[in-house]
């Protein structure tokens, strides 16, 4: 098993996978092998394999805490799969919730302080895509009415962490405490409301703390994109567009005017568009989101536009994923493409791209907002589940409903039409409402007014 782990660490997931398959029948810690198999499939951009491996890990693990973590990883990976539908997700969420059937909870707390105490909990408070949506909630709140604390499950810090530390009423590193001890600490500060920014990311660690009910009201969202399935989470942050048609939520919807407001960081400076003769599409999402249906649509678009090309950029720097995608594109018969690894300088890509082809069924959130901020339109195929409406919701907030379609035929047709009519596309670029997209002041006021009402 250690050899397989080293192979993964050195960027050799295929070799690691072969090794793990050989030792699987003979090992005592079967769940550990499945966990590593999931990591190998991740590095090979195989979403279905990763989901199955995490599910197998959950089924074979003897310990409840890690069993919950495996199942969170499984639920997260499920969203990459085109075949995921509402009945399937509802059933899997019920199974996850059953893992807490015997969970103990802390005694109910009574309101004592004059201010409303709001505790934000996250796997970390480092710079990330989620941070671009929640930062103003921790820096621009009404300090006369609210006391805000931040609780991090990771000791790692960066410039963003320092900014949060300076602005909140209390910052706590709970990386070295048990889940119960962390819940007790949140409970002891008298938290009225717990905002879980993690959900099922990072193995659902934040949820395992929320399960002890350290706050009077518990809410999830922004950092996670779908229902948690946990009956100890009372609300999910949404709006009338994002969550209107989704029957999977076990939570009540914490309905805002807009579920998102994007706050760019200092590195996100609009780059000047490079003049280029041939129309260029872009796809800058996690390569795990590149479903077969999506790549099939890309092929049909490029077949009609032989002079056009597409740039793919991953969110990780792994060479294994780059290699796998190149092979997939060749097998699909897609030509005129460029595949780039994840890198810090990806902002420069926007100067080369005319239109982003958003992935489906699992669309981009941060990447959609960033593209619009950088002045590049995004074509989105909107689905029914909240995880398949995030990108469309961001376009809706920016008054760009013309870039939202509801079937693959319309997706292909509109992509081709924009490529053939650059003047129309240019008019959409001018229409991008950055002010609405970045209306963080209105977002913060709406958010905390709703908290006060609850």
Distance in angstroms (rounded) separating the CA atoms of residues 387 and 408: 17
DSSP state of 318: -
Distance in angstroms (rounded) separating the CA atoms of residues 37 and 14: 10
CB 315 within 8 Å of CB 289? no
Q: Give the per-residue pLDDT at 433.
A: 73
Segment 181-185 shows an average pLDDT of 97
Segment 222-240 shows an average pLDDT of 96
* Contacts for 57-62: CB closer than 8 Å, 24+ residues apart: 57/31, 57/32, 58/31, 60/30, 60/31, 60/34, 61/31, 62/31
Segment 22-44 shows an average pLDDT of 90
Q: Give the per-residue pLDDT at 432.
A: 80
Residue with tokens 């595949």: 339
Task: Tell which residue, 197, 252, 247, 190, has the closest CA to residue 220.
Answer: 197
CB 220 within 8 Å of CB 250? no
Asked if residue 102 has pLDDT above 90, the reply is no
DSSP states of 139-166: HSS-TTTEEEEEEES-----HHHHHHHH
- pLDDT above 70 covers a percentage of the chain that reads 98
Q: How sure is the predictor about 179, in pLDDT bands with cuts at 50, 70 and 90?
A: very high
Token couple for 170: 């209390």
- Please state, rounded to an integer, the average pLDDT across all residues of the chain: 94
Asked if residue 112 has pLDDT above 70, the reply is no
Token couple for 371: 């593209």
Query: pTM of the prediction?
Result: 0.93
Segment 276-281 shows an average pLDDT of 89
Which segment of 177-181, 272-276, 308-312, 324-328 scores lowest on mean pLDDT? 272-276
Asked if residue 183 has pLDDT above 70, the reply is yes
CB 224 within 8 Å of CB 201? yes
DSSP state of 235: E
Asked if residue 16 has pLDDT above 90, the reply is yes
Distance in angstroms (rounded) separating the CA atoms of residues 312 and 285: 8
Asked if residue 344 has pLDDT above 90, the reply is no
Segment 174-195 shows an average pLDDT of 96
CB 124 within 8 Å of CB 100? no
CB 313 within 8 Å of CB 349? yes
Strand 146-152 versus strand 116-122 pairing type: parallel
Summarised one tens digit per residue, pLDDT across range 368-418 is 999 999 999 999 999 999 999 999 999 999 999 999 999 999 999 999 999
Summarised one tens digit per residue, pLDDT across range 243-273 is 977 789 999 999 999 999 999 998 887 766 6
- For residue 122, the surrounding DSSP H or E stretch is strand 116-122
Segment 428-438 shows an average pLDDT of 84
Q: Give the per-residue pLDDT at 271.
A: 66
Summarised one tens digit per residue, pLDDT across range 423-432 is 898 888 887 8
CB 196 within 8 Å of CB 170? no
Segment 315-334 shows an average pLDDT of 96
Token couple for 118: 């709001």
Task: Tell which residue, 224, 354, 357, has the closest CA to residue 291.
Answer: 357
Asked if residue 154 has pLDDT above 80, the reply is yes
Q: What are phi and psi of 108, to 5 degrees?
A: -60, 140
Strand 337-340 versus strand 404-405 pairing type: unpaired
Residue with tokens 């193995």: 203
- pLDDT above 90 covers a percentage of the chain that reads 85
Task: Tell which residue, 172, 216, 212, has the closest CA to residue 193.
Answer: 216
Segment 225-249 shows an average pLDDT of 93
Strand 337-340 versus strand 252-256 pairing type: unpaired
Asked if residue 274 has pLDDT above 90, the reply is no
Summarised one tens digit per residue, pLDDT across range 39-71 is 999 999 999 999 999 999 999 998 999 999 999
Distance in angstroms (rounded) separating the CA atoms of residues 308 and 225: 33
Q: Give the per-residue pLDDT at 401.
A: 95
Segment 437-449 shows an average pLDDT of 97
């Amino acid at each position: 098993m250690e050899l397989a782990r080293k192979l993964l660490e050195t960027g050799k997931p295929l070799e690691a996978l072969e090794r793990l398959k050989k030792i699987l029948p003979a090992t005592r810690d079967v769940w550990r092998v499945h966990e590593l198999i999931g990591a190998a499939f991740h590095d090979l951009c195989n979403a279905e394999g990763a989901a199955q491996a995490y599910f197998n890990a959950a089924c074979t693990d003897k310990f409840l805490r890690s069993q919950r973590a495996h199942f969170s990883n499984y639920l997260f990976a499920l969203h990459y799969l085109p075949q995921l539908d509402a009945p399937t997700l509802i059933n899997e969420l019920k199974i996850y919730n059953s893992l807490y059937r015997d969970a103990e909870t802390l005694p109910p707390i009574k309101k004592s302080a004059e201010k409303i105490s709001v505790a934000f909990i996250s796997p970390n408070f480092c710079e990330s895509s989620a941070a671009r949506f929640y930062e103003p909630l921790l820096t621009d709140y009404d300090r006369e009415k609210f006391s805000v604390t931040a609780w991090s499950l990771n000791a790692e810090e960066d410039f963003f962490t320092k900014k949060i530390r300076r602005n909140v009423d209390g910052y706590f590193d709970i990386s070295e405490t048990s889940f119960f001890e962390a819940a007790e600490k949140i409970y002891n500060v008298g938290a009225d409301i717990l905002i879980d920014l993690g959900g099922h990311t990072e193995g659902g660690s934040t949820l395992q703390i929320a399960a002890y009910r350290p706050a009077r009201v518990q809410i999830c969202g922004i950092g996670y994109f779908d229902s948690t399935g946990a009956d100890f989470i009372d609300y999910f942050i949404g709006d009338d567009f994002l969550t209107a048609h989704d029957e999977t939520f076990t939570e009540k919807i914490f309905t805002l005017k807009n579920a998102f407001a994007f706050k760019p960081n200092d590195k996100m400076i609009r780059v000047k568009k490079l003049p280029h003769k041939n129309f260029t599409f872009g796809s800058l999402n996690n390569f795990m989101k590149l479903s077969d249906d999506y790549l099939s649509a890309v092929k049909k678009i490029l077949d009609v536009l032989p002079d056009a090309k597409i740039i793919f950029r991953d969110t990780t720097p792994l060479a294994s994923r780059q290699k796998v995608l190149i092979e997939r594109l060749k097998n699909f018969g897609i030509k005129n493409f460029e595949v780039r690894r994840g890198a810090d300088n990806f902002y420069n890509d926007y100067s080369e791209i005319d239109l982003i082809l958003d992935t489906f069924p699992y669309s981009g959130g941060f990447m959609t907002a960033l593209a619009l901020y950088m002045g590049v339109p995004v074509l989105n195929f909107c689905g029914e589940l909240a995880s398949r409406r995030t990108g469309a919701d961001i376009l809706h907030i920016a008054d760009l409903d013309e870039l939202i379609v509801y079937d693959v035929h319309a997706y292909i047709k509109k992509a081709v039409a924009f490529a053939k009519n650059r003047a129309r596309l240019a008019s959409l670029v001018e229409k991008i409402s950055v002010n609405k997209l970045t209306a963080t002041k209105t977002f913060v006021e709406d958010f905390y007014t709703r908290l006060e009402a609850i």
